[in-house]
C-alpha cells in the first residue's frame, strides 16, 4: 500500500510505494534530498531522522513556484493579442485575395466564351443572334449552341437538332453535356443543373439590338460583350438580359447584372478584356460601357483585372 509523504522543504505531498520506505532521494517538486519514513519493528510507519529537518518554507521561497507560470501566461496572452491584431490588419487583404481569385475563375470562363463569339463574328460578319427563331418566329434555342464549334465542341453541335427547340426530347438529352465554361464555380447549383451564369445584354443601344446583332468591328473600345448574372437558365435555353427593362446591378435571375460576388460583378469586353466593376458604379458609366457606338470616353483602368 502506498503511503503519503510531505516534503519538509516545499511541503509537496506525494504518494510513495512501501518498498521505498526508509530510502533517500530527491523530492519530486523541489529536488532536495529527503528520506522516506520507515516501518519500525511493530510495522508502524515512523519518520526517519533525516526527514524531521525543519522546513525552510517562507512566502518568498514559495513565490519561485508560481512566478514563472505567471510570467509564461502573460507572454502567451501577449502573443495571442499580437497575433489577433496582425490577423485583424491582414484580414481585409486575405478576403480581397479570395474575392479576386473567385472573380478570376469567372473571367477565365468569359474570356473563352468571348473568344468564341469573336470567332463567330469574324466568320459570319456579325455576332450570333441571341435567340434562334424558326420560320414562324418561335424561339428555338440560345446563341450558346451556335458558338459550340468555336469552343472545340463541334461534335456536340452536330448532335444538336437545329430545327427543334432546346427542350425537345432529343435536344434536352444533351443538357448534361454542357461545356464547363458556361457555369460559374461561384454558383453552387449551376454546373449540377446545367445552367449558365454568363449572358449577353440585348435591346436598343447594345451589340444585340432588335434589328439584329452587330459585328465586333462595329464596337468601340471597352464595349461590354458578356456579363455575369445570378442566372438560373439552362445553357441551351434562350435567356439574356434585355436592358429595355432597365439595367440594374443586383441578384434577380435573368434580370439583374451580377449577383455572384459581393460588392462587384465581372464583365468581358469585345476586346476580351476582363473587368471587375463595382456594384455602385454610376449608371452613366454602366450605360456607356454597354453602348457600342456612343463615343463615350470611359476610363476602365480601375476595373481592369
Examine residue 281 and state whether it is found in any structural domain, yes or no. Answer: yes
Q: What is the rounded CA–CA span in Å between residue 47 and residue 38? A: 6
Task: Tell me: do 135 and 273 sit in the same domain.
Answer: yes
Give me the residue label for grid cell 445570378.
230
Q: What is the rounded CA–CA span in Å between residue 289 and residue 279? A: 14
Least confident residue range of 71-75, 137-141, 183-187, 277-281: 71-75
Task: Tell me: do 23 and 168 sit in the same domain.
Answer: no
Examine residue 186 and state whether it is found in any structural domain, yes or no. Answer: yes
Examine residue 196 and state whether it is found in any structural domain, yes or no. Answer: yes
Q: What is the rounded CA–CA span in Å between residue 231 and residue 240? A: 9
Task: Tell me: do 165 and 278 sit in the same domain.
Answer: yes
Task: Tell me: do 126 and 240 sit in the same domain.
Answer: yes
Task: Tell me: do 182 and 283 sit in the same domain.
Answer: yes
Question: How confident is the prediction for the chain on average, in pLDDT?
Answer: 83
Examine residue 94 and state whether it is found in any structural domain, yes or no. Answer: no
Q: What is the mean pLDDT of residues 1-25?
A: 76
pLDDT at 120 over 90: yes
Q: What is the mean pLDDT of residues 236-247?
A: 87
* 44-to-41, 59, 152, 161, 260 alpha-carbon distances in Å: 7, 34, 96, 104, 82
* Segment 174-207, tens digit of pLDDT: 999 999 999 999 888 888 999 999 999 999 999 9
Q: Where are the alpha helices (DSSP H) in the chain?
A: 59-124, 143-146, 154-159, 169-172, 190-193, 283-290
* 232-to-134, 182, 227, 249, 253 alpha-carbon distances in Å: 24, 12, 14, 16, 6
Examine residue 83 and state whether it is found in any structural domain, yes or no. Answer: no
pLDDT at 40 over 70: yes
CA atoms within 13 A on the CB side of 84: 6
pLDDT at 7 over 90: no
Residue from 199, 224, 210 nearest 276 by CA = 224
**Into how many domains does the chain fold?**
2
Q: How many CB atoms lie within 10 A of CB 248?
A: 15
Examine residue 73 and state whether it is found in any structural domain, yes or no. Answer: no
- Looking at residue 38, what is its pLDDT? 73
Question: Which of 39, 59, 79 is at the close of a domain?
Answer: 59
Q: What is the mean pLDDT of residues 79-103?
A: 66
% of the chain with per-residue pLDDT over 70: 81
Task: Tell me: do 55 and 119 sit in the same domain.
Answer: no
Question: Which of 31, 59, 87 is at the close of a domain?
Answer: 59
Range of the domain at 48: 3-59
pTM recorded for the entire structure? 0.67
Task: Tell me: do 120 and 55 sit in the same domain.
Answer: no
Three-state DSSP string of 157-170: HHHCCCCCCCCCHH
Examine residue 105 and state whether it is found in any structural domain, yes or no. Answer: no
How does residue 91 score in pLDDT terms, banded at 50, 70 and 90? very low
Q: What is the mean pLDDT of residues 252-269?
A: 81
Task: Tell me: do 277 and 175 sit in the same domain.
Answer: yes
Q: Which residues of 37-49 are buried (b: 16+ CB within 10 A; e: fewer)?
A: bbeeeeeeeeeee
Examine residue 67 and state whether it is found in any structural domain, yes or no. Answer: no
Task: Tell me: do 46 and 119 sit in the same domain.
Answer: no
Per the structure block, which three cell numbers stand in for 128? Answer: 450570333
Task: Tell me: do 127 and 223 sit in the same domain.
Answer: yes
Highest mean pLDDT of the ranges 18-32, 201-215, 275-289: 201-215
Question: Which of 59, 84, 106 is at the close of a domain?
Answer: 59
Could you tell me if 251 and 259 are in contact, meaning their C-beta atoms sit under 8 angstroms apart?
yes
Task: Tell me: do 160 and 272 sit in the same domain.
Answer: yes
The pair phi, psi for residue 255, each rounded to 5°, is -125, -50
Residue from 162, 158, 192 nearest 175 by CA = 192
Amino acid at each position: 500500500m502506498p503511503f503519503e509523504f510531505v516534503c519538509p522543504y516545499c511541503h509537496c505531498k506525494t504518494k510513495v510505494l512501501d518498498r521505498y520506505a526508509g530510502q533517500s532521494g530527491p523530492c519530486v517538486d523541489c529536488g532536495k534530498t529527503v528520506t522516506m519514513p520507515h516501518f519500525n519493528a511493530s510495522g508502524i510507519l515512523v519518520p526517519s531522522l533525516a526527514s524531521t529537518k525543519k522546513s525552510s518554507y517562507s512566502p518568498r521561497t514559495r513565490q519561485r513556484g508560481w512566478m514563472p507560470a505567471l510570467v509564461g501566461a502573460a507572454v502567451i496572452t501577449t502573443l495571442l493579442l499580437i497575433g489577433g491584431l496582425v490577423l485583424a490588419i491582414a484580414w481585409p487583404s486575405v478576403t480581397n485575395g479570395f474575392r479576386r481569385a473567385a472573380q478570376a475563375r469567372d473571367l477565365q470562363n468569359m474570356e473563352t466564351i468571348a473568344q468564341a463569339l469573336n470567332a463567330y463574328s469574324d466568320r459570319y460578319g456579325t455576332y450570333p443572334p441571341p435567340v434562334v427563331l424558326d420560320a414562324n418566329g418561335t424561339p428555338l434555342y440560345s446563341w450558346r449552341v451556335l458558338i459550340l464549334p468555336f469552343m472545340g465542341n463541334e461534335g456536340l453541335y452536330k448532335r444538336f437538332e437545329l430545327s427543334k427547340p432546346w427542350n425537345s426530347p432529343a435536344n434536352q438529352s444533351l443538357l448534361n453535356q454542357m461545356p464547363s465554361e458556361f457555369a460559374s464555380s461561384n454558383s453552387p447549383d449551376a454546373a449540377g443543373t446545367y445552367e449558365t451564369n454568363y449572358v449577353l445584354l440585348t435591346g436598343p443601344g447594345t451589340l444585340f439590338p432588335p434589328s439584329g446583332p452587330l459585328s465586333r468591328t462595329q464596337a468601340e473600345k471597352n464595349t461590354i460583350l458578356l456579363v455575369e448574372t445570378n442566372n438560373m437558365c439552362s445553357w441551351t435555353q434562350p435567356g439574356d438580359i434585355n436592358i429595355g427593362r432597365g439595367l440594374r446591378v443586383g441578384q434577380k435571375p435573368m434580370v439583374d447584372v451580377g449577383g455572384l460576388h459581393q460588392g462587384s460583378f465581372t464583365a468581358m469586353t469585345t476586346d476580351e478584356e476582363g473587368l471587375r466593376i463595382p456594384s455602385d458604379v454610376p449608371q452613366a458609366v454602366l450605360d456607356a460601357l454597354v453602348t457600342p457606338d456612343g463615343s463615350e470616353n470611359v476610363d476602365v483602368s480601375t476595373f481592369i483585372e
